[in-house]
Structure 1
Amino acid sequence: MVNKKVYEQISREIEKINERLKDTKHKVVILSVKGGVGKSFITANLAVALARSNKKVGVFDVDVHGPSIPRALGVVNKSIIRGIDGFLPVKGPLGIKIISIGLMLPGEESAVIWRGPLKAAYMRQVLANVSWGELDYLLLDMPPGTGDEQITIAQLIKGIDGILLVTNPSVLSEKVALKAKEFASKLKLEILGVIENMSHFKCSDGKVYYLFGKGGGRRLSEEVNAPLIASVPIEPYVAETMDSGEPLLIKYPESEASKEIEKIARYIIKRLEG
């Protein structure tokens, strides 16, 4: 009887989640199989690039243990509040709507020590009660790996358009490819493309240095049978903007990294909107 009641409650929450998202046109998972590849930097700046293309954008920071989106989008001093119709996302630059556990905690240093079932319950309850309004794009910024959070999101949200796979040249492409392909296949999600972050460093004299190796993104794209959308270079501005909360595309729109991220936005718009 208890199990039946729990199942019925979860089913109601899933229905409510997808009712909440009925005015969201496209949902895209941003995934990295390994940590340390700059996935949240890509997510935050892709959100800005889409918003600059006159798209209504939301970001759900799925990472419970290390939420990075609030700082990356400069909203660490804001909090999610409850309105008449549910939780109201915090608004970031260009009207980007943001939901993150980092906006519900007392401070950035606060730790969340939860196991799988608690994380799943948190995601169900939050998503079932967020008032997103109309969105052209909802970016789902996953924690590294292919574990509980990633599986839960794929099971809760219907109509996910696909996965953007973020990597860097040093990640062993074969192992990443196998994990990414298995994850996408089991959850019936398409890998839309590969983004190689920290691809290279360009010196002031014009010389290009491949600090983490060369060609990893290309090999990964071939192994997962998805295009390499962009190769985002290492730039000194990146750490500065992540710390300050002013996205690269806003503070340094003419940088090479910004232009590569704009390529991702153009690709996604063309791929999903035709």
Structure 2
Amino acid sequence: MSAVPANANAGCVGPQSDAAGKASACAGCPNQAACASGAAKQTDPSVAQVAARLADVKHTVLVLSGKGGVGKSTMACQLAFALASQGHQVGLLDVDICGPSVPRMLGLTGQEVHQSAAGWSPVYVEDNLGVMSIGFMLPGSDDAVIWRGPRKNGLIKQFLTDVDWGTLDYLVIDTPPGTSDEHISTIQYLKGCNVDGAVIVSTNQEVSLADVRKEINFCKKTSIKVLGVVGNMAALKFPVSQLAFRNAEGGDCTAEAMAALSAHAPHLLSMSVAADVFVAAEGGGAAGMAAKTGVPYLGPVPLDPNLLRACEEGRSFLEAYPMSAAAKPFAAIVDGVLKATGSAPGSWATK
């Protein structure tokens, strides 16, 4: 669980592992003799450096998911927006090195990181919402980051030791899917900090839940408290008045359908339609899985086009679309995070 040396072999188990110097991945590594002797089993000085840098951060929340494509970055970005809207000083750190989507979701594409005597300055969306991501350091938005683990770990260490966040109420950390190098390094470096726990994002189908169970086990093994599971994309909810209709040939017949509804069933126009896009797995989906694994369930978030639109626009969903289908459920999840971290619930303009 310690930081991997920059010159280590791929698959390094870390110098503080019981298998250090003995694992198959250690063969031929220049650090093998030192790791096998136990000389490398000492506290990483970076832990103290990170603790000093983040001493004025009151709460740290990790956003995790076992599987990609479940809306983890969406939840992280909108959680940061929501916390900032309640007057909290918020930082959002993107440690998804190979897939940095945070700059786009916060409307910061094309921004650059600036350096001062105090360190790297976050890019600010608002006065009380700062962001750091490798996405600000790439020549172009389509450039790929093709790095091995040690180089990723080195950048995460730099993010945690060099970024001048100042005083924060909340530091939200968006991580990549899985339980790999980025997660191990982040948790190792944060050992001396105020880490409240993790919000884990899942959808309802078993292919996602199987990976989330592994993520929960990862949290237990690394002593990270699970603040709760979010059941994202729980159902599609859409106002009837905003539906588009197609005929058998695929042509648009929305005007005709709306005219028929207005004439014969006008009460339907004030209703919403709902459909389970990701059918809940046997056992109750994300809610059932949370109950069985003994962790809190923060609630479901329906698949809402306006939530996706807010991320594309780089806007706060709760502020831009307070009457949308997912607004009230998402506000309840933010309140769950506030409660779990000892803060008062928010004041939301949702239905």
Question: What's the TM-score, normalizing by structure 1?
Answer: 0.92
Equivalent of residue 301 in structure 2, options 232, 247, 255: 232
Secondary structure at the aligned position of 1:255 is classed as coil
The whole-number CA distance in structure 1 between the counterparts of 2:328 and 2:293 is 25
**What is the Cα deviation at residue 261 of structure 1?**
2.1
Which secondary structure state, in structure 2, belongs to the residue aligned with residue 70 of structure 1? Answer: helix
The unaligned stretches of length 5 or more in structure 1 are none
- Of 93, 96, 99, which aligns to 2:129? 96
Amino acid in structure 1 at the alignment position of 2:128: G
Unpaired runs of 5+ in structure 2? 1-29, 35-39, 241-270, 344-351
Equivalent position to 1:199, from 226, 234, 249: 234
Query: How high is the sequence identity, in percent, across the aligned residues?
Result: 37
- How do residues 46-85 of structure 1 correspond to structure 2 at under 5 angstroms? 46-85=79-118
Counterpart of 2:297 in structure 1: which amino acid?
L
Match of 1:19 among 42, 49, 52: 52
Distance in 1, Cα, partners of 2:67 & 2:329: 22
Question: 2:142, 2:273 → 1: CA distance?
Answer: 40
Query: 5 Å matches for 1:125-274?
Result: 125-158=158-191, 159-172=194-207, 175-203=210-238, 204=240, 205-214=271-280, 215-273=284-342
Contact residue 80 and residue 129 of structure 2 kept, 8 A:
yes
Aligned equivalents of 1:143 and 1:231: distance in 2?
21
Moved over 6 A (4+): 7-10
2:195 aligns to what SS in structure 1? coil
Q: Distance in 1 between matches of 2:221 and 2:330?
A: 29
Alpha-carbon distance between aligned partners in 1 of 2:299 and 2:216, rounded to the nearest angstrom: 20
Counterpart mapping for 1:31-46 below 5 A: 31-46=64-79
If you compute each CA radius of gyration, which structure gives the higher value, 1 or 2? Answer: 2
TM-score normalised by the chain length of structure 2: 0.72
Q: How much does 1:177 deviate?
A: 4.5
Asked whether the 8 Å contact 1:173–1:216 carries over to 2, the reply is no
What do you get for the CA RMSD once the two structures are aligned?
A: 2.2
Instruction: Give 1 or 2: higher helix fraction.
Output: 1
Task: Specify whether residues 257 and 88 from structure 1 end up closer, same or farther in structure 2 by C-alpha distance, changes over 3 A only.
Answer: same
| Greater RCO, 1 or 2 (C-alpha within 8 Å, sep 6+) | 1
CA distance, structure 1, for counterparts of residue 211 and residue 41 of structure 2: 36
Change (3 A) 1:8 1:95: farther
Greater mean deviation of Cα atoms: 233-242 or 67-76: 233-242
Q: CA deviation at 1:9?
A: 11
- Quick one: distance in 2 between partners of 1:192 and 1:13? 26
Number of aligned residue pairs: give it: 272
